[in-house]
Structure 1
Amino acid sequence: MLRGPQGTTFGRNATGGLINVITPDPSFDFRGKASLRVGRMRREAGDYDARLYVTGPISEKAAIDLSGLFRKNDGYIDDLVRGGTLGDQRVIDLRSKVLFKPADNFKVVLTGEFFDQQSTTNSPQPVDGNTAGRRFPGVILPTGPWQASLAEAPVLNLRRWTFALHTKLELVAVNLETTSGFLNLRWTQITDSDASNLRLGNFPAIFRSESGSQEIKLSSSNPGPFQWLVGGYFLPVRWQFLPPALDGRESYSPPSRADA
Structure 2
Amino acid sequence: MRALQAAATGMMAQELNVQVISNNIANLRTTGYKRQQAHFQDLLYENLRRAGTQTSDQGTRLPAGLALGSGVKTGSTPRVMSQGNLTSTEKTYDVAIRGEGLFRVRMPDGRTAYTRDGSFDLDNAGQMVTRDGYVLEPGITIPQNTTGVTISANGQVQATIAGQTAPTIVGQLQLSRFINKVGLESIGDNLFVETAASGQAVEGNPGQDGFGNLQQSYLEEANVNAVTEISALIAAQRAYEMNSKVVTAADQMLSSTSAMFRG
Q: Which of structures 1 and 2 has the larger relative contact order (alpha carbons within 8 angstroms, sep 6+)?
A: 2
Which of these two proteins has the greater Rg computed from alpha carbons? Answer: 2
TM-score for both structures, normalised by structure 2: 0.29
Q: Which has the higher strand share?
A: 1
